[in-house]
Amino acid sequence: MTFITANWNPLGEAFYRKSELYEMCWNLRDGLRDCLVAAAPYGGPIALLREPVRRSPSSRPQLEIYSASGVSIASFPWKSGPVVHLGWTVSDELLCIQEDGSVLIYDLFGSFKRHFSMGQEVVQSQVLEAKVFHSPYGTGVAIVTGSSRFIMATNIDDLKLRRLPEVPGLQGKPSCWVVLNQDRQTKVLLSTGSELYILDNTSCTAVSLPGLAPQGGSIVHMSVSFSYKYLAVLTDSGHLWTGPSHLQDKMSEVDTKKLTPPKQMVWCRRPKSQQPSVVLMWDRLLMVVGVCQDTIQFPTEDQCVLVGEMDGVRIISSTNQELLQEVPLVCQEIFKIASMAPGALLLEAHREYEKSSQKADEYLREIKEQSMLGEAVSQCIEAAGHEYDPNTQKSLMRAASFGKCFLTDFSPGQFVTTCRELRVLNSVRESSVGLPLTHTQFKQMTLQVLIDRLVYRQFYPLAIEMCRYLKIPDYQGVSRVLKHWASCKVQQKDLSDEAIARAMCAKVGDSPGVSYSDIAAKAYECGRTELAIKLLDFEARSGEQVPLLLKMKRSQLALSKAVESGDTDLVYTVVTYLKNEMNRGDFFMTLRNQPVALSLYRQFCKLQEQETLKDLYNQDDDHKELANYYVTASYREKRLESRLSLLQSAVDEYNKAKNEFSAKATEEEMRLLRFQRKLDDEKGAGLLELSLQATMEALLALGLYKQAEQLYRDFRVPDKRYWWLKLKSLAEKEEWDELEKFSKSKKSPIGYLAFVEVCMKSNNKYEAKKYVSKVTPEQRVKAHLAISDLDGAADAAIERKNDSEIATVLSRCSAADRLLIERLNRASTAKK
Amino acid sequence: MRGNPYSILRGGWKALGTQAIVWDEYLTGPFGLIAQYSLLKEHEVEKMFTLKSGKLPSADVKNIIFFVRPRLELMDIIAENVFSEDKMHSSRDFHILFVPRRSMLCEQRLKEQGVLASFVNIDEYILDLIPYDGDLLSMEYESAFRECYLENDQTSLYHTAKGLMTLQALYGTIPQIYGKGDCARHVANMMLRMKREFAGSQNQILPVFDTLLLLDRNIDLLTPLATQLTYEGLIDEIYGITNGYVKLPPEKFAQKKQGEASKDLPTESKKLQLNSAEELYAEIRDKNFNAVGAALSKKAKIISAAFEERHNAKTVGEIKQFVSQLPHMQAARSSLANHTSIAELIKDITTSEAFFENLTVEQEFMTGVDTDKVNTYIEDCIAQKDPLIKILRLMCMQSVCNNGLKQKVFEYYKREILQTYGYEHILTLNNLEKASLLKLQTSSRNNYPTIRKTLKLWMEDANEQNPNDISYVYSGYAPLSVRLTQVLARPGWRSIEEVLKLLPGPHFEERQQLPAGLHKKRQQGENRTTLVFFLGGVSYAEIAALRFLSQMEDSGMEYIIATTKLLNGTTWIKSLMDRPESQIS
C-alpha cells in the first residue's frame, strides 16, 4: 500500500504508471515474433496469425483467437489466401484482409460469417497494406494497392467502396499513412517521405506540418490519437512532431535521438489529460515522449504489441500484459507523497482510525476546518474507480465511507454506484473472463454494451448475475441474456431436442420479453424443425406461433394454433395459405377437422366464391344449406327456366334434409312462377316477382276475379286473408255492387265490422250502413260509431247494458248532444 | 376515454400536410362521437369522402387516408380507387387506417390487387369500445349477433376480448368474471389466454371494476323482441337512435323559430343528440313513458318559476345574478320544448289502437296466455300486410314464450308469410330458426313459465310512476338478462342453478389474480362496480333497468354497461334477414 507510487514515473508535471493487468494464459512458443497480431480496444480479443515454422506448400498458417488475458477461444489452420492485415470490428468480429482484396469476416469463435471484396482491380494489383479503423459510422477498411491507389469502405456493414484520387508521384506504397476522421469525413493522410498529402473523396492536397524544423527530415512514422484529434509524426532524424490532426497548430517537437524507425508508435492520453504523450516502441526499448519534451524510457525484454485505448496504452508481450497510463489527477492528489489534498488527509485519517490512533481525529479536524470533507469523500470514491487493485479500491472506499459518517447531507448515490460498478469491473477483469476494462472505458462503453459483450462471449451466468445485481429491469436485462442463451443453446448439436426443450423451459420459464417463437425460429434456421415445434409449444401468443409454423410447412398445426388464439384474421390468413398450398380435396378435409376455420371459410366464400360454397356444403352433406344456396342462386338468374331448375334443386335438397315444409313451399313458389308467367304472357299482367298475395291483389285490381279465385283455391289461402284482400280491393275500385254480392256469397269469416270500416275508409257512408245490421252484437256499438251514428250506438249500448260501451259513446258526444248524454247517463245509473 | 384519432397521425405519421379522409361510411357515426369534424379540420383535413367504387373525387391534398373496417369487399373498392387515381396524380401519398384492427387478410388482398405498395402507411386505430355515455360503451358491431349465432364467426368476440383487455389496461384487472352462454365462455377463455400472453407486464392500476358479467344475447331472446316502454326505448323503437342521434319529423319543431313562421314547413328532419349531458334528458330517458308527462310538466313549472324570478329581482346584484343564469335557463327551456314535442309525437302513437293491440298481444305472450295457438292478431296483421318485421317480432316472441311453436301453428305462420310477403323470406325464416328465435316445439314441456315464475319476470302491479322493480321498463315484464344480473349481485346465482340450466350455454365464474397490494380496501357502504357486457346487443330498456338498479339505494352495486351493439327488436330482426334480391344489385 505504501508503495502505490512505486511504479509512478514523473513526466513533466504529471506521472505515468505501468501496471500489470495479466500474466498471459497463453503459451506462445515463439512469442509474438513473425505473426500478424490484432488486438481490439476496450480490452477486446486478440487474434494471431502465425507463419508456420517450416515453410512448405502444404503447411498452413494457424489462426488463433485469444481473450485479452490470453485464454484460447479458437484456433484453426488458415486455408484461404495470404493475409495482409487482421483487424477487429466494433462488434468483436475479426476481419482478415487478404492480398487479393477479399475480406473474410469471422466471429469471436472462429466461425466464418461472410466475406466481401475491396474491388475487382485489387485482385490484379494486390493489397500492399491495409488498415481497419473505427468511426461513428462503424468499422471501416482502407487499403493501398500495388498500383498505389487507396480504396476505402467506411462501414463494412453497409459496403460502399470509394476509390480515392491518385497521389502524384507515388510509386508502390507510401512511407507511412493513417486514416483520419474529420468533419464527418474519412480521409487518408499519407507521406511519401518528403511530401505529406491529404486524400479525401475528391482531391489529393499537399499539406505541411506547421512549425516542423527544416532539418526535420522525411517522415517515417505517423500516429493518430484514439479520438482522431491529435497527430504524431516521426521523421528520419528522430524528431517527433505532435499537433492537432487538422494540422493548423503545433503542440511540440521533441528530438528522440533515435534514428531507427520504431516498430510501433501510439498516442497515450486520457480525457482531461495533463500530459499527453506518444509511446514509441523499438526492439528492446519503450519510450514515452511527453508533449512537454520530457521522456520516460522502459527497457523491454520481449517482442511487444501496443494497443491504444482511450485512456492509455496496453502493452502485450508473450508473457504478460501491462497498462501504461497517465495517473489520473485525483489519484495523484491522494497518493502523491506529502499531498495535503482533502482526499489524501481522509485516507490518512481512516488509516489512523483503524489503528485506533487519536491522530485520526486530528486529520479529520483539519479537513473539516477547511470544510472540505465532502470534497475528500468524493475524491476517495473517484480515485477508487481508477484503481485496478481491489485492495486499494477497498481502502479508498472504506475511507470514503468513514468520512461520510461525519457528513449529514451527503448523497450516497455516487458511493453506491461506484461500489456496484467496481464489483462488476473486478469480475469481468478476472483472467477467466478477460475484459481488462478501466472505469473510464466502462463508462464510455455503457453497461448495455458490456452485457452484450459478455453474452457474445457466452458468459451467460455472469451476465445474468450482473443484471440481477445491478437491478436492471428484466426486459432489458435477464430476459435479453436468456434470449441469447436460448438461441445459442438450440445450436448445440450434441443435445437431444427433448433435453434442449426441457432446459429451455426450466431456465427461461415465463420470463417476460423472451419470445419462444424467436428461439424456435433460430432452431428452425439451424435445421431443427422438431425442436422448433417443441419450443413453439411454450409460446403463449399464438399470433407468434402461426407464421413460423407456416414457414415450417406445419400448416395443420398452424391452423389449430390460429383457431386456439381466437383471432379470426389469423385463421383466415392460414386458411388462405392452405388454400394455395394444398389440393382441393386435402384442403377441404383439413377444414372439416376445424369447424371454426370451416365456418370462417364459408363466410369468405359467401362473399367471394359462391361456387366453392356449394362444394363445401356438398362435401358435408349439408342439404339444408345447399337448398338455401340454390334458393339464393335462383334469384341471381334472369331466365325463368334456369331459375326454376335451381328451385327444383332446392326442392330436392330440402327433401333430402327432410324439411317437408320448405320443399313444399318451394314447389308452390315454382307453381306460382309458372302461373305468373302464363298470365304475363297472356294478359301482360306483370306479375313475376310478386308474392302470392300481391299477385291476387294485382289480379283483383285488373278485374281478373276468376284467376284470383283460382289462386285462392289452388294455394289454399286462408279465407280470412282472402276476404280481407278482396274486400279492400273491391272498395278501392268502388265496385260496390260486386262487394255486396261478395258479402252475401257466404258468412264472412272476418265479420262485417270490417266491411263497415273499409267502406268508411272510402268515405262511402251509404254502403257502410248496409253492413251495420250484419255486425255481431259485440261490435255493434263500434259499427254505429264508425258511421258516426251516435243515436244508433247509444241504442245498442243501452240495449247491451254495457258500461264501458256507454262510456265510449259518451266520450264521443259533444255538448250539442245534450239529450243523448242524459239518456246514456240515465241508462248507466239505472243499471246501478 | 375519448381519444383523437389524429394522435396516431400526428405522433406516428409525421409531416403529413394536407389530407383528405375517405371514410368507410359505417365508421362515420362512431367516429363522430370521439372526434368532431371541426377538430379534424384543425388538423389539416381538407376534405372528407365516403368510400365508394370508381374514381376518387378530386381534392387538392397531399395525402389520401382511408379509414376502413378490415373487410375484403372494402379492400377491392380501395384498390379500384387507388388504380384510377395513380394515373392522374402521381405525387399523392396513400395511407390506410384499419378500425379497429389491422388484418393480414386484407393486406394480402391489397397485395393480390397489386396496390399494397402504393400505401405509405398501414396502421390501425384500435377502437373497440366506443363511449356512448358515462356508463355505456358499445362496439357498434352491427353483425355481431348474426355472425356469432348464424355463421359461427367469432370475430366480434375476439374484438370484444381485445377491447376488454384494453379496458383492463386502463382501469385495472377485473378480479371476478361471471358469465352465461357459449359466447361468454369463449370471450372469458380468450381473456384469460391473453392475460397469460401479457404475463409479466402486469399493470399496477387499482381496479375500477369489481366484477365483469358476460351475457350472451341468446340466453334472453325475449327481451329485445318486446316493445320498449321507457322514453328512450320508445324514441328508439319509433324513430331509431343511431350513434346517439335521432332524426325526427320536422313538423312539431317548426313553429318554434319565431319570425320564420310564414315560411314553409321545414322538410329536412330534425336531428337531435341524445345523451345524459342534457340534464332533462338524463332525468327522463329511463322513465316509463307514462311517467314522462308528469316529469315534463313539473319541469315546466320549475323553469317558468325560474323565469318569474326576474320580477323579484330588485337590486342590480340580483338582476346580474339572474342574467348570469339566463343561458342555462334558456338551454333548459329549449331542452324542455324539444322533449315536450318528442313526447307529443310519441304519445300520438302510443295512444293509437294499433299500438295498444300490439302491446296487449305482447303482454299476453309474456304472461303465457294462449301461446300455443295461432294468434288472431298476428293473422290479421298479416292480412293487413303490416310491416314484416313487426310480424316476425311477434312470431318470435310467441315462439320464445312457448318454447317453440307447435308444428301446425309454425307452418301456418310460415306459409302465411311466404304467401303474403314473398317466397324469398324462406331464407330469413331459416335464419330465425337457426338463431332459435323461431323453433318447432320438440318436447312437450315448456320451460318458459318456470323461468318466468322463478325469476319473477312478470310483475302484475308494476309501478310506472315510482318504480320499485325493473319490470317498469316494459310495464310489467322484467327483462330476463337484467334479472339475472340482479340475482347475481344478491343473493347469487347458486340460488337459481335450476333455472340457469334451462337457459342455453354454460354458466361460470373465473377469478383473475391481482398483483399484490392492489386489493381494494372497501369502505363501509361503498358501492361495488360491475361491468355488464351483452354479447350480441342490448336494448335501451335493459340499460334503463340496469341504471335503475344502480340507483336503488340498497343495491350497493353500480353498473356500467358494454355491448357489441345497441339494438331494438326491429334492428335486431333486420340484421338477421336475408334478402337474396339485394345481392343482385
Read off the pLDDT of residues B351-365 as tens digits, 9 standing for 90 and up: 998 999 999 999 999
Compute the nearest-CA separation of B373 from chain A (Å).
Answer: 16
| Phi, psi for A548 (deg, rounded to 5) | -70, -40
Q: Give me the pLDDT at residue B203, please.
A: 63
Q: Give me the pLDDT at residue A629, please.
A: 92
Q: Is the pLDDT of residue B261 over 60?
A: no
Return mean pLDDT, chain B: 86
**Residue in chain B nearest A671 by alpha carbon:** B423
Q: Is the pLDDT of residue A382 over 60?
A: yes
Q: Is the pLDDT of residue B230 over 70?
A: yes
CB-CB neighbors (< 8 A) of A717 in chain B? 419
pTM over 0.80: no
Cross-chain residue pair B382–A721, CB shorter than 8 Å: yes
Among B72, B190, B382, the residue with its CB nearest the CB of A608 is B72
The 10 Å CB-count burial string (b at 16+, else e) for A193-228 is eebbbbbbeeebeeeebeebeeebbebbbbbbbbeb
Tell which A residues from 665 to 704 touch B, by Cβ distance under 8 Å.
Answer: 665-666, 668-669, 672, 690-694
Detail the DSSP E strand segments found in A154-292. Answer: 161-163, 176-182, 185-191, 196-199, 204-207, 219-224, 230-235, 239-244, 252-255, 264-268, 277-281, 285-290
CB-CB neighbors (< 8 A) of B193 in chain A? 540, 564-566
Residue B207 pLDDT grade (very low, low, confident, very high; cuts 50, 70, 90)? confident
Q: Give me the pLDDT at residue A801, please.
A: 80
Compute the nearest-CA separation of A295 from chain B (Å).
Answer: 58
CA distance B386 to B371: 21
CA distance A316 to A307: 8
Q: Which residues contact B352 (CB under 8 A, 6 or more apart)?
A: none
Q: Express each pLDDT in A806-816 by its tens digit.
A: 888 888 888 77
Q: Express each pLDDT in A141-181 by its tens digit.
A: 999 999 999 999 999 998 899 999 999 888 888 999 999 98
Residue A54 pLDDT grade (very low, low, confident, very high; cuts 50, 70, 90)? low
- Region A291-306: mean pLDDT is 89
Q: Express each pLDDT in A743-760 by its tens digit.
A: 888 888 888 888 998 898
- Region A206-211: mean pLDDT is 86
| Rounded (10°) angle between helices B353-367 and B388-401 | 20
C-alpha pair distances (Å), B13 with each of A10, A50, A683, B106, B125: 60, 55, 67, 21, 13
**Residue in chain B nearest A547 by alpha carbon:** B104
- Region B81-97: mean pLDDT is 75
Tell which A residues from 609 to 668 touch B, by Cβ distance under 8 Å.
Answer: 624, 628, 631-632, 634-636, 661-662, 665-666, 668
Interface test with A, best of B426, B433, B578, B581 (most A CBs within 10 A): B426
CB-CB neighbors (< 8 A) of B197 in chain A? 540-541
Cβ atoms of B544 and B231 within 8 Å: the answer is: no
CB-CB neighbors (< 8 A) of B383 in chain A? 720-721, 724-725, 750
Among A474, A666, A692, the residue with its CB nearest the CB of B419 is A692
Compute the nearest-CA separation of B89 from chain A (Å).
Answer: 31
Among B72, B199, B583, the residue with its CB nearest the CB of A512 is B199
Tell which A residues from 699 to 738 touch B, by Cβ distance under 8 Å.
Answer: 715, 717-718, 720-721, 724-725
**Bridge partners, residue A134, by sequence:** A139
- Region B113-126: mean pLDDT is 85
Among B155, B419, B584, the residue with its CB nearest the CB of A715 is B419
Cross-chain residue pair A510–B200, CB shorter than 8 Å: yes
Q: Which residues contact A197 (CB under 8 A, 6 or more apart)?
A: A167, A189, A190, A191, A204, A205, A206, A207
Among B189, B415, B424, the residue with its CB nearest the CB of A635 is B424
Cell 398450398: give the residue: A581
CB-CB neighbors (< 8 A) of A565 in chain B? 193
Cross-chain residue pair B151–A694, CB shorter than 8 Å: no
Residue B499 pLDDT grade (very low, low, confident, very high; cuts 50, 70, 90)? very high
Q: Is the pLDDT of residue B522 over 70?
A: no
Q: Express each pLDDT in B295-345 by its tens digit.
A: 999 999 998 888 887 777 778 888 888 888 888 888 899 999 999 999 999
Closest CA to A383 of A369, A403, A362, A359: A403
Compute the nearest-CA separation of B73 from chain A (Å).
Answer: 8
Counting residues of chain B whose pLDDT is more than 90, the rounded percentage is 50
Q: Is the pLDDT of residue B89 over 70?
A: no
- Region A53-68: mean pLDDT is 78
Instruction: Judge if the upstream peptide bond of residue A595 is cis by omega within 30 degrees of 0.
Output: no
Q: Which residues contact B50 (CB under 8 A, 6 or more apart)?
A: B22, B23, B25, B28
Q: Is the pLDDT of residue A536 over 90?
A: no
Compute the nearest-CA separation of A608 from chain B (Å).
Answer: 9
Cross-chain residue pair B104–A540, CB shorter than 8 Å: no
Interface test with A, best of B423, B427, B432 (most A CBs within 10 A): B423
Residue A184 pLDDT grade (very low, low, confident, very high; cuts 50, 70, 90)? confident
Q: Give me the pLDDT at residue A315, please.
A: 94
Q: Give me the pLDDT at residue B254, please.
A: 61
ipTM of the complex: 0.87
Dihedral angle sign, alpha carbons of residues B191, B196, B198, B201: positive
Q: Express each pLDDT in B371-426 by its tens digit.
A: 989 999 999 999 988 999 999 999 999 999 999 999 999 999 999 999 999 999 99
Compute the nearest-CA separation of B42 from chain A (Å).
Answer: 35
Q: Is the pLDDT of residue B76 over 50?
A: yes
Compute the nearest-CA separation of B154 from chain A (Å).
Answer: 7
Q: How many CA atoms lie within 13 A of B399 on its CB side?
A: 28
Cross-chain residue pair A666–B423, CB shorter than 8 Å: yes
